[in-house]
Structure 1
């Protein structure tokens, strides 16, 4: 499922807060926008075990 709501891709460096829009360009800084929806989650994720292992290894 794709969200129509987009967020400024450079909001961390260009703005104090996220700027949401429906356009392909940010209305405030004219930068590119990205899809604001999180990545889909699947319990059968074939690489989930490896990501969790890497995350635990990085935390130590």
Structure 2
């Protein structure tokens, strides 16, 4: 199955500062990255840390 068929799309709203920080990460990388890719990596990192019980804040609250 193609990767695009295994993905789900959703909308997220961010604080302006968070959005600008993510955009800067994408833009300042050489070569520049797509914002979608940077957000995807951030989500995967969060999920990996949660699975390894390495998060420093509770998500259950």
TM-score where L is the length of structure 1: 0.31
Structure with the largest fraction of strand: 1
Which of these two proteins has the greater Rg computed from alpha carbons? Answer: 1
TM-score where L is the length of structure 2: 0.31
Structure with the largest fraction of helix: 2
The structure, 1 or 2, with the larger RCO (C-alpha pairs under 8 Å, 6+ apart) is 1
